[in-house]
Chain A
Amino acid sequence: MQHYDAIVIGGGLVGSAIAYGLSRAGLKGALIDEGDVAFRASRGNFGLVWVQSKGLGAPHYQRWTRLSADEWPALASELRERTGIDVGHERPGGVHLCLSEEELAERGARMEQMRNEAGNFGFEYRMLDPDELKDMLPGIGPAVLGASWTPYDGHANSLSLLHALHRGFLARGGTYLPNRTIDYAGVAPRDFRLGSGADQIGAPRIVLAAGLGNAKLAQLFGLSAPVRPQRGQILVTERTSRVFETPTTTVRQTVEGGIMIGDSMEDVGFDTTQRPEVMAAMARRAVLSFPFLAGLQIVRAWAALRVMPPDGLPIYDESEKFAGAFTANCHSGVTLAAAHANAFAPMVAAGALDPVMAPFSAARFDVPHAA
Chain B
Amino acid sequence: MTAGRVDFAVVGAGPAGMAAAVLAAELGLDTVLIDEQDAPGGQIYRAVERAGDALPLGADYLAGSGLAAALRASAVRYRPGATVWHIDPDGTLSFVSAGASEAIRARRVLLATGALERPAPISGWTLPGVMTAGAAQVLLKTGDIVPAGRTVLAGQGPLLWLVAAQLIRAGAPPAALLETAPHRNYHAALRLLPRAAWPARRALLKGLALIREVKRAGIPIRREVAGLRALGRGRVEAVAWDGGEIPADLLLLHEGVIPNVQISLALGLEHRWDEAQLCWRPTVDPWGATDLPAVAIAGDGGGIAGAEAAALTGRLAALDAAAFVDKLAPAERDRRAGTLRRALRRELAIRPLLDRLYRPAPAVLVPADDIVACRCEEVTVGQIRRAARLGAPGPNQAKAFTRCGMGPCQGRICGTIVSAVMADTLGKPIAEIGAYRPRAPYKPITLGVLAATAQP
Contacts and interface: CB of A to CB of B under 8 A. Distances in A.
Chain B interface SS verdict (over half): loop
Interface of B: 1, 86, 88-89, 94, 103, 390-397, 400-401, 403, 406-408, 410, 433-434, 437, 439-441, 444-448, 450-451, 453-456
Given A163-B390, A283-B448, A299-B408, 20 more contacts: A36-B394, A36-B396, A37-B394, A43-B396, A159-B403, A235-B447, A273-B89, A274-B440, A276-B1, A279-B450, A280-B450, A281-B455, A283-B451, A286-B451, A294-B446, A294-B451, A295-B446, A296-B446, A298-B450, A303-B439
A284 interface: yes
Number of chain A interface residues as a range: 35 or more
A179 interface: yes
Nearest to A237: B447
23 contacts: A36-B395, A37-B437, A43-B400, A159-B401, A162-B401, A166-B390, A167-B390, A261-B447, A273-B88, A274-B440, A276-B440, A280-B1, A283-B447, A283-B454, A284-B451, A294-B446, A294-B447, A295-B446, A296-B446, A296-B447, A297-B445, A298-B447, A299-B407
A24 B92 CA distance: 51
Q: Which of B395, B403, B439, B447 has the most CB of A within 10 A?
A: B447
A128 interface: no
Contacts of B88: 273, 276
Nearest to A277: B1
Q: Which of B88, B410, B450, B451 has the most CB of A within 10 A?
A: B450
Given A261-B447, A283-B447, A294-B451, A276 B392 contact: no
Interface of A: 11, 33, 35-37, 42-43, 159, 162-163, 166-167, 170, 176, 178-179, 235, 237-238, 261, 273-274, 276-277, 279-281, 283-284, 286-287, 293-303
Contacts of A294: 446-448, 451
Q: Which of B397, B434, B441, B446 has the most CB of A within 10 A?
A: B397
A302 B438 CA distance: 9
Contacts of B395: 36
A237 to B, nearest CB: 7
Q: Which of A274, A283, A301 has the most CB of B within 10 A?
A: A283
B444 A276 contact: no
Contact of A281 (B397, B440, B441, B454): B454
Q: Which of A261, A277, A300 has the most CB of B within 10 A?
A: A300
B448 A287 contact: yes
A179 B393 contact: yes
A287 B400 contact: no
Contact of A280 (B392, B406, B434, B453): B453
A274 B401 contact: no
A296 B448 CA distance: 8
B89 A166 contact: no
Nearest to A159: B400
Q: Which of A35, A36, A162 has the most CB of B within 10 A?
A: A36
